[in-house]
Each structure stands twice: as C-alpha cells, then as structure tokens.
Amino acid sequence: MTRWLVTGAGGMLGQDLVLRLRRSGADVIALDRGHLDITDRAATAAALAQARPGVVVNCAGWNAVDDAEAKEDQALAVNGGGPAHLAAACAGLGARLIQPSTDYVFSGTASAPYGEADEPAPQTAYGRTKLAGERAVLAAMPDGGYVLRTAWLFGAHGPSFVTAMVRAEATRDTVAVVDDQHGQPTWTADLAGQIQLLAQSAAPPGIYHASSSGQTTWFGLARAIFELLGADPDRVTPTSTDALARPARRPGYSVLSHARWISAGLPPPPGWQHALRRAFPEIVAAERRRSASPPG
C-alpha cells in the first residue's frame, strides 16, 4: 500500500485531503505546521526519511496574498523554498510530489482559458513565490513532480469568500461584490479527489489544472450563495476592482483550461455550481458552529 504524507495538513485543503484519504483506507501521515516547518531543509529531509512515503502532497503555503506584497522574502521561503526542500527529499527517496499552485502565476489579462503550457507572468508577490515553487519541483523532479494549479478555493475547514458571504447575509442588508474578476470557484473536497485521482493514475508528471469547470465572477458567486441561503440575491450589488483598493493586484481573468487533465484520461472536473450545491450544507453548518462558539 502506498504511504501518503500530507504537509500543511491543518489547512482547508489539507484537512479535506487527509479526510478523503483516510476514508478510502489509505495509509496517511498528516503533518501540520506545528509538526513540520517546510522552510527548514534539514527537518524536512529528516521527516521524509523517517516516514518514507510514496506520495507527498504539499498543502503548506503562504496564502495571504496582500501580506506577501510587503513580506515577499518570507512568502518566498514558504512557497518557493519549502517545495524545493520537499522536492530534494522526495527525489532522494524516489517518492512522487504533488505541489498545488495557483492561477496567480498568470497575468490575469487573457480572454480565453489559460492552458498548462501558457507562459506564466505573475503580477503579484504571491504569484511570483508560487511560480518559484512550481519551478523548483519540476526542475528537481522531472520524472516524479506534479504541479496542480487551482483557483478560488472554498471549503468547510477554513475562511473563504463563501464563508464570508454566508456571514454577510446574516449580518448585513446589502453587500458590494466585484463583477469584473472572472474565475472558477473550487471546492477543496473536490480538489482533494482530483489529487487522489492524479496520484493513482498513469498520468505523466508535469503541470495540470485542477479548478472547477465553468466560470463566474465574484458577484455571480455571491448571488448564487444568497440564493442557496434562501435570501434575495438582489441584496448583492456589483462594484469594480478599482473601487476596492487592495495591496495586491487581483487577476481580471483566472479561468484555467483542463486540456492536459482530460488528455491524461482523467474525468473532467465538476462544474462550480454543482460543487457549491454539494458543499453548501457542510459549509453552512461549520460556519454556524464557529459563530456559536464563545470568543477565545
């Protein structure tokens, strides 16, 4: 039986992946940041040498997009250095490494879905650091490294745009949401399934896109959330990216093509609306539990 090792196991994707693998009967070692800091090369090598996994999935990462603008060196240590350390250790053991990445590696100015072979052109510190991680994995592991780009993640085990809109519906009369950014809302439980499928397939190493199918805007997603809550979607009003100034530039177009995924014989990713409907009861229940918990 293949042994899996999941880093960043306490995060939103990490929790869903570990849960899915354990439910399938897999042998899983789950390491959160308290158990393994991937920026520590020696500790990373030692942890993998002790565990001797067949597949490593790096769910650890610096995902604070705006904070990365002022702390790029720190973000690079996690998003670039961490994957490099894991790749070196995996290469030495003959293990495969799956490195989730992001739509932010592209410029966000396209008008058609980005393909796996399209040239990256990150416009933010976050995107640059994630691209560094991609390149480190592929350079060190040409025969066993997989980069899995995704986008607009949401799930029950952490904060996301979806949980923010569930909270906003309960506390605000109206909410203004940008309608000029286009992307693919992706449920972390679906992404966990895609990771497992990829690892168990004969797909060649390299870059794959693993977002939901279809596309929408943040405004369209917010309206869909309000509808699932039984609320009036007209309480969501459109605004522009420029009206909501943020330290990091947001991509205007983050839609990813799944051509290489499908050409590898893997099933097409589910549509974002279907994913949202399936995820929603769990997300709402988790958000209500958090809201009911006493502070501290």
- 126's tokens: 């976050």
Cβ-based neighbours of 190, under 8 Å, separated by 6 or more: 212, 269, 270, 275
Closest of 61, 13, 3 to residue 190, by C-alpha: 13
CA 291, 293, 295, 296 torsion-angle sign: negative
How many C-beta neighbours within 10 Å does residue 149 have? 24
- 168's tokens: 């906003």
DSSP letter (8 states) at residue 6: E
- Whose structure tokens read 């790749």? 87
* Rounded distance between C-alpha atoms, residue 30 and residue 174, angstroms: 41
Identify the burial level of 213 via C-beta atoms within 10 angstroms of its C-beta, where 0-12 means exposed, 13-18 middle and 19 or more buried.
middle
* Rounded distance between C-alpha atoms, residue 286 and residue 259, angstroms: 34
Closest of 122, 140, 129 to residue 205, by C-alpha: 140
DSSP letter (8 states) at residue 119: P
Catalytic residues: 126
For residues 243-254, one letter each, b for 16 or more C-beta atoms within 10 angstroms of the residue's C-beta and e for the rest, the string is: eeeeebbbbbbb
Identify the burial level of 190 via C-beta atoms within 10 angstroms of its C-beta, where 0-12 means exposed, 13-18 middle and 19 or more buried.
buried
